């Protein structure tokens, strides 16, 4: 069941522009960063209830995805992390395909396995762990 509601653009201009161009072109444009592919996650605002669209690196394995709350190694989590913790029903657009997923935050051994996959997809993530002692949240997205 697709998410419905009012879209609220990100206050990060570059992220907003990339999400909107990616969505409008079915992933044909604005589809990478530093040469690595992205996806666009739609989540429900934990406080506003508005729809938030967030470009994130594409980390996929056997039809499942992981989204990484890295925020470049900043000391605080990105806000979308709290949206997923509050409402795990999300949409993920990968190229032309947009589908519903259920997000589950990972820990322990399962998190380690997916962390390796995330670093393989975007090696910069390893660098971010050196900038913060925050445990970077990972959410596994499985088909709803
Ligand atoms: C800028 C801020 O967004 P954020 O949710 O903190 O997310 C910050 C970043 O993670 C986000 O900009 C990402 O798109 C940045 N980013 C990546 N960020 C990552 O963390 N990981 C990535 O892998 C990643 C890749 C990436 C690739 C391309 C690109 O263009 C950007 C990329 C924002 O929009 N804030 C809004 C609020 C957003 C929101 O969800 N509000 C909730 C409140 C939730 C609460 O406070 O509990 C609500 O509406 O209820 C605001 O300040 O008004």
Cα distances (angstroms) measured from residue 103 to each of 1, 42, 65, 81: 15, 11, 9, 10
Dump the DSSP string for 10-21: -S-HHHHHHHHH
- The CA distance from 67 to 16, in Å, is 17
Fold category of 13-143 in CATH? Pnp Oxidase; Chain A (2.30.110)
Q: How large is the ipTM?
A: 0.97
**Kindly report the CA angle at 46 between 105 and 127, in degrees rounded to 5?**
45
The pLDDT tens digits of the residues spanning 37-46 come to 999 999 999 9
What pTM value is reported for the model?
A: 0.97
* Ligand 1 centroid from CA 10, angstroms: 7
* Ligand 1 centroid from CA 12, angstroms: 7
Instruction: List residues near ligand 1 (CB under 6 A).
Output: 10-12, 14-15, 18, 33, 38, 45-48, 50, 52, 54-57, 68-71, 78-80, 82-83
Mean pLDDT (whole number) for 18-25: 97
Work out the pLDDT band at 67, boundaries 50, 70, 90: very high
Residue 1 has pLDDT above 90, yes or no: no
- The full set of domain ranges for the chain reads 13-143
pLDDT value at position 2?
87
- The CA distance from 46 to 43, in Å, is 9
Q: In this prediction, what percent of the chain has a pLDDT beyond 70?
A: 100
């Amino acid at each position: 069941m697709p998410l419905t509601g009012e879209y609220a653009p990100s206050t990060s201009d570059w992220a907003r522009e990339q999400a909107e161009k990616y969505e409008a072109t079915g992933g044909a444009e604005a589809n990478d960063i530093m040469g690595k592919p992205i996806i666009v996650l739609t989540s429900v605002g934990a406080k506003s209830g508005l729809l938030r669209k967030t470009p994130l690196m594409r980390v996929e394995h056997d039809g499942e995805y992981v989204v990484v709350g890295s925020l470049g190694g900043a000391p605080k989590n990105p806000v979308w992390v709290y949206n997923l913790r509050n409402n795990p029903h999300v949409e993920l657009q990968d190229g032309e395909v947009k589908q519903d997923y259920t997000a589950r935050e990972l820990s322990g051994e399962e998190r380690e396995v997916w962390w390796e996959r995330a670093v393989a997809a975007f090696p910069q993530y390893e660098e971010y762990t050196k900038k913060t002692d925050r445990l970077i949240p990972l959410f596994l997205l499985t088909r709803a």
